[in-house]
């Protein structure tokens, strides 16, 4: 596995070694020992999530203020622009975001540690995303930052107005957000 560093330390793009021939491909999508070595800490995943969305759907920017979740995100069908925003109040990167295209074709994964908000925009006709989390979903602690917040100035690759849930449309501004 190749590790690609991002502009926000601790958020990593993981590029697996893919073995491909005329029959198809094989790659190791998760190896606890290797991931822990890369992160230099012991990670324990407790939940796997599967999401399917159509083109133009923008989900996020979600996080849990209690029971924060680290996430290992990958796309198994289609392509998304995946975003993580640092919400750690003592971080020199507070409010900084990183965004990467993850796709079934490139097989990249994004490691997003606890203390970050997460969101994505579907770029293909549809996309299916799998992500592992380090803590359980707790809707009573879930929070949302407005995807188009001008302070964050996320450069979403939009070609038209995104499709957004009512909950996400009502997200708070970054300045009003609870931080870790």
pLDDT digits 0-9 by tens, 23-38: 999 999 999 999 999 9
Could you give the C-alpha distances from 67 to 56, 64, 110, 155, in angstroms and in order?
30, 6, 20, 28
All structural domains of the chain: 2-176 (2.60.120.10)
Find residue 57's DSSP bridge partners.
163
The reply to whether 93 belongs to the active site is no
Question: Does residue 131 have an active-site annotation?
Answer: yes
User: What is the mean predicted confidence (pLDDT) over 9-29?
Assistant: 95
Which DSSP string do the residues of 26-52 spell out, in sequence order? EE----HHHHHHHHTS-----EEEEEE
Over residues 65-109, the pLDDT tens digits come to 999 999 999 999 999 999 999 999 999 999 999 999 999 999 999
pLDDT of residue 55: 98
pLDDT, residue 89, reads: 96
Catalytic residue among 30, 62, 93, 141: 62
């Amino acid at each position: 596995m190749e590790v690609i560093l991002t502009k926000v330390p601790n958020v990593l793009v993981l590029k697996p070694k893919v073995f491909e021939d005329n029959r198809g491909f094989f790659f190791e999508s998760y190896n606890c020992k290797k991931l822990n070595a890369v992160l230099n800490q012991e990670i324990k995943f407790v939940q796997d999530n599967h999401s399917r969305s159509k083109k133009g759907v923008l989900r996020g920017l979600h996080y849990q203020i209690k029971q924060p979740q680290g996430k290992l995100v990958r796309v198994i069908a289609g392509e998304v622009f995946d975003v993580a925003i640092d919400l750690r109040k003592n971080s020199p990167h507070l409010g900084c975001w990183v965004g990467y295209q993850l796709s079934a074709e490139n097989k990249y994964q994004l490691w997003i540690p606890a203390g970050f908000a997460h969101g994505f925009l579907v770029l293909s006709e549809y996309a299916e995303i799998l992500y592992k989390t380090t803590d359980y979903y707790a809707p009573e602690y879930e929070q949302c930052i407005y995807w188009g917040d001008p302070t964050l100035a996320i450069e979403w690759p939009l070609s038209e107005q995104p499709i957004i849930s009512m909950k996400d449309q009502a997200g708070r501004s970054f300045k009003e957000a609870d931080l870790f």
